[in-house]
């Protein structure tokens, strides 16, 4: 390594030792040695030794006279397993590592990247795992009540500094109930919040906080849910959590004073009816079921009608309006005014309503094409709620769509530190690398995301895009086939299949698929954006530009994406591209003009050792860099 490198040889050696001693690696001596071998070859500049055939012979001991990588996949298989172990490490005990070692799919050259300092600091903090509270009965109201109470615990603890909170989904995914000691080592979980209903007293909840070091009970509080209304129960739970954790955190080395640690008290409403409607709406919104969205909006509109001073309900209503806006194509229904007004009302009532600022910021660049305004509003949102994962995720997306890719990646470092088991993190980072034109890394992350959630439609869409951009239309065709299998009622599944067929010059098949799709779906399901994609695949620049201009003038779904979308890189060389952006009011991020170093990553570079070669590109193919 060279003098002045941000990662020194000593730091790398220490990190390798830490990786090999971690639970993800300690039981696999082969993968420890394999990783060290790959790093040594990289540092010594022996890139030829990182080719598949060389690794098979030199490291795995295959005979030079008989080894055939096509018949013997030992290197590919073990590299895939090594990649999984590294992924597990950096989403677990390595969450506070100063830098990250990765291995892209199809390559055996290790990559090193310095992580965001804020992520390192947060990753070193202790965690509390919140397990889902069980319902008293299977009745729907009891299910909603238990989910709302669990959500109250998570929200309360998330406002405390110097502690990371693993919500119910992450806690279950981490295996907290089965092995508290393991998650203590792997995720720095120091406390577990759990509850159960007392035997013989079906309406008495025993709320517990248990330490993972020795299993000691830090808090055991009986809560009689019949003696008080749901609003009072929530307030009692909030008080118990703060009384328990504020002193615990204050006793840690370097901790802030209890007065500084304690978050600003939140009094959402004093009206029991409004509070009940708010909690039921939040439960429906968490289900992410489009069919339940109208009911959630109805509950929230009624709640703010009953109590116009209920800030949290206004913020939640703004979020629900934004979600509805994302699902419709009609211009009138996409009017952002209602969402804006709800968010602004939430801020009037609570100037620290970070999620409301975040919603306004999102609408600023998505619905108004005003990136500068969005930047200012996101700054307010982060100042108010710096540890809110939803706010940070929205900000990371904004940075990505602003072509500020390095900043977006650092933001995702922080998000990953706050909740390393967030199921969406790999897919979202895969999207970032796709827009960044770093297709090998995108493919790696999206494949990992699909391994965790095989029916993630967004991940499959991005993977099909990534294969198309990296010159692998056959793989893109296969990904689109999988899309149709898991989402047959989604129009884009067929658009992506047709696009892959056009890239393969199988025009007749592609045309037939689109004819059937247009007959099966209404006029709003396949937008001008998708039509522009197909025109690019066919090499028709003029029609693609026409479609994009109509789409942007309507500020339709996804219009804000087109400036950074690699789909349209082939259009950037055309003088009409910039004039079109000016007419529709979109910023011209061609000034971000991929740097020379980045161009070497996505342009006509030589394949890295062991990397498969791309297929020849036809004119107008997605992924070309101007």
Quick check: helix, strand or coil at residue 165?
strand
Cα separations in angstroms, 190 against 126, 185, 212: 6, 9, 5
Cα torsion at 242, 248, 254, 259 (round to 10°)?
30
Mean pLDDT rounded to a whole number for the chain: 88
Considering the domain architecture, whether residues 468 and 538 belong to the same structural domain is answered as yes
Domain housing 508: 425-602
Residue carrying structure tokens 């010059």: 505
**193-211 pLDDT per residue, tens:** 999 999 988 889 999 999 9
Q: Outline where 487-559 has alpha helix (H).
A: 491-503, 507-520, 528-538, 541-553
Give the end of a domain, one of 205, 230, 261. Answer: 261
Band of pLDDT at residue 263, cut at 50, 70 and 90: low
Q: Which two tokens stand for residue 555?
A: 């500020």
pLDDT over 70 percentage in the chain: 90
Query: Strand pairing partners for 234?
Result: none
First vs last C-alpha separation in the chain: 33
Considering the domain architecture, whether residues 528 and 459 belong to the same structural domain is answered as yes
Task: Check pLDDT > 60 for residue 52.
Answer: yes
CA angle 104-105-106, nearest 5°? Answer: 110
| Domain-embedded: residue 412 | no
Considering the domain architecture, whether residues 439 and 553 belong to the same structural domain is answered as yes
Band of pLDDT at residue 180, cut at 50, 70 and 90: confident
DSSP 190: E
Considering the domain architecture, whether residues 192 and 217 belong to the same structural domain is answered as yes
Task: Check pLDDT > 80 for residue 508.
Answer: yes
| Domain-embedded: residue 609 | no
Task: Check pLDDT > 50 for residue 605.
Answer: no
Give the end of a domain, one of 261, 289, 309. Answer: 261
**265-301 pLDDT per residue, tens:** 555 688 989 999 999 999 898 877 778 899 999 999 9
DSSP 523: T
Q: Are strands 99-102 and 127-130 parallel, antiparallel or unpaired?
A: unpaired
Phi/psi at 455 (5° precision): -105, 25
**475-492 pLDDT per residue, tens:** 999 999 999 999 999 999
Band of pLDDT at residue 589, cut at 50, 70 and 90: confident
Pick left, alpha or beta for residue 188 (phi over 0 → left; psi -120 to 50 → alpha; otherwise beta): left
Q: Outline where 96-210 has alpha helix (H).
A: 117-123, 140-158, 168-173, 180-187
**357-403 pLDDT per residue, tens:** 999 999 999 999 999 999 999 999 999 999 999 999 999 999 999 99
Task: Check pLDDT > 50 for residue 321.
Answer: yes
Query: Strand pairing partners for 112?
Result: 101
- The answer to whether the CB of 122 falls within 8 A of the CB of 414 is yes
In the chain, the number of structural domains is: 4
> Looking at 138-142, 301-305, 438-442, 575-579, which range is the least confident one?
138-142
| Domain-embedded: residue 613 | no
Quick check: helix, strand or coil at residue 414?
helix
> Looking at 373-377, 560-564, 595-599, which range is the least confident one?
595-599
**60-102 pLDDT per residue, tens:** 999 999 999 999 999 999 999 999 999 999 998 899 999 999 9
- The answer to whether the CB of 22 falls within 8 A of the CB of 93 is yes
- Report which of residues 231 and 459 the model is more confident about: 459
590: domain CATH number is 1.25.40.10
Task: Check pLDDT > 90 for residue 452.
Answer: no
pTM of the model: 0.87
Cα separations in angstroms, 144 against 134, 148, 278, 423: 10, 6, 11, 23
**521-535 pLDDT per residue, tens:** 987 889 999 999 999
**So what's the pLDDT on residue 77?**
96
Considering the domain architecture, whether residues 284 and 216 belong to the same structural domain is answered as no
Cβ-in-10-Å burial (0-12, 13-18, 19+) of 226 comes to exposed
Is the alpha carbon torsion for 23, 24, 27, 31 positive or negative?
A: negative
Task: Check pLDDT > 60 for residue 497.
Answer: yes
Give the end of a domain, one of 206, 235, 261. Answer: 261
| Domain-embedded: residue 74 | yes
| Domain-embedded: residue 172 | yes
**413-431 pLDDT per residue, tens:** 999 999 888 878 999 999 9
Q: Which two tokens stand for residue 252?
A: 């840690």
């Amino acid at each position: 390594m060279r003098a002045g490198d941000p990662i020194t040889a000593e730091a790398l050696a220490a990190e390798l030792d830490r990786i090999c001693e971690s639970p993800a690696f300690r039981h696999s001596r082969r993968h420890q040695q394999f990783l060290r071998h790959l790093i040594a070859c990289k540092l010594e500049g022996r890139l030829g030794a990182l080719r598949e055939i060389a690794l098979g012979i030199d490291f795995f001991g295959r005979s030079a006279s008989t080894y055939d990588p096509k018949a013997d996949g030992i290197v590919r298989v073990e590299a895939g397993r090594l990649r999984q172990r590294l992924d597990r490490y950096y989403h677990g005990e390595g969450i506070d590592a100063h830098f990250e070692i990765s291995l892209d799919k199809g390559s055996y050259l290790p990559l090193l990247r310095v992580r965001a300092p804020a992520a390192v600091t947060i990753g070193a903090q202790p965690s509390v795992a919140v397990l889902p509270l069980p319902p008293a009965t299977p009745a729907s109201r009891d299910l909603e009540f238990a989910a709302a109470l669990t959500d109250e615990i998570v929200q309360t603890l998330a406002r405390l500094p110097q502690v990371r909170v693993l919500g119910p989904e992450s806690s279950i995914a981490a295996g907290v109930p089965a092995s508290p000691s393991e998650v203590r080592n792997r995720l720095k979980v120091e406390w577990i919040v759990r509850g159960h209903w007392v035997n013989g007293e079906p309406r008495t909840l025993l709320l517990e906080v248990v330490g993972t070091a020795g299993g000691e009970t830090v808090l055991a509080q009986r809560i009689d849910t019949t003696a008080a209304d749901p609003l009072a129960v929530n307030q009692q739970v909030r008080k118990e959590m703060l009384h328990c954790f504020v002193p615990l955190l204050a006793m840690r080395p370097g901790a802030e004073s209890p007065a500084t640690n304690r978050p600003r008290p939140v009094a959402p409403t004093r009206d029991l009816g409004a509070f009940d409607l708010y909690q039921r709406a939040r439960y429906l919104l968490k289900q992410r079921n489009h069919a339940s969205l109208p009911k959630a909006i109805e509950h929230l509109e009624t709640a703010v009608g009953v109590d116009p001073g209920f800030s949290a309900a206004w913020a939640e209503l703004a979020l629900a309006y934004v979600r509805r806006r994302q699902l419709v194509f009609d211009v009138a229904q996409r009017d952002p005014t209602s969402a804006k007004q709800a968010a602004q009302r939430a801020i009037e009532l609570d100037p620290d309503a970070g999620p409301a600022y975040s919603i306004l910021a999102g609408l600023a660049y998505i619905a108004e094409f005003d990136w500068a305004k969005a930047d200012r509003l996101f700054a307010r949102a982060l100042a108010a709620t710096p540890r809110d994962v939803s706010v940070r995720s929205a900000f990371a997306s904004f940075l990505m769509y602003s072509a500020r890719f390095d900043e977006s990646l650092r933001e995702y470092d922080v998000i990953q530190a706050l909740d390393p088991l967030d199921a969406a993190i790999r897919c979202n980072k895969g999207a970032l690398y796709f827009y960044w034109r770093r297709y090998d890394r995108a493919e790696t992350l999206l494949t990992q995301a699909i391994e965790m959630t095989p029916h993630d439609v967004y991940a499959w869409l991005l993977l099909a895009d990534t294969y198309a951009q990296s010159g692998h239309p056959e793989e893109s065709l296969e990904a689109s086939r999988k899309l149709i299998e898991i989402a047959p009622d989604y129009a884009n599944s067929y658009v992506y299949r047709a696009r892959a067929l056009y890239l393969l010059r199988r025009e007749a098949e592609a045309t037939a698929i689109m004819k059937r799709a247009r007959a099966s779906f209404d006029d709003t399901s396949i937008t001008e954006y998708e039509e522009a994609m197909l025109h690019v695949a066919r090499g028709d620049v003029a029609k693609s530009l026409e479609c994009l201009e109509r789409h942007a003038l309507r500020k339709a779904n996804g219009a804000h994406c087109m400036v950074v979308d690699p789909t349209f890189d082939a259009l950037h060389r055309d003088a009409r591209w910039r004039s079109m952006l000016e007419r529709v009011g979109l910023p011209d991020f061609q000034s971000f003009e991929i740097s020379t170093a980045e161009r070497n990553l996505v342009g006509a570079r030589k394949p890295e050792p062991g990397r498969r070669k791309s297929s020849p590109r036809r004119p107008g193919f997605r992924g070309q860099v101007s």
